[in-house]
Amino acid sequence: MVSFARMSRAGIASLLLIATALSFSPARADDGFPFGTEMQLDVNRQPGSKRIPNLEIGDAGEVVLELWCKGGKGQFSVAGNTVIFAAGAMENRPCPPDRAQADDELIAALTEAGTWKRQGDFVSFVGAKTLRFRINTN
């Protein structure tokens, strides 16, 4: 006959084995393109502005952009590490010319990017200029 204490030890040992195995399992798909997430450009705020550009990427690659001044929509197409960004119509909001120019340069850099890479919570779009975004994990 098996004692209760022996069964308990066996149960605890099984749970520890399972927990250990789970902690060493391969990483979840956190190295893929971040569809269905929101990302923020990894830069400091511009003087006089509280905004930092962000992208909200849908499950099918549709994007809602909120930049320093402008906002709008776009679309990402991804195949492996190749990326194509197509900007849609942008809403022009009243803002200083330097911020409007920074928005235009950001959109141009996203459009010119040909590849992307992910390192943990950071995604970089690489072209003539590299743009680094942090995935919002909250």
Output the pTM of the full model: 0.75
Residue range 15-68, pLDDT digits in tens: 333 433 334 333 344 579 999 999 999 998 888 778 999 999 999 999 999 999
* 23: phi then psi, degrees, rounded to nearest 5: -70, -20
First to last CA, the chain: 51
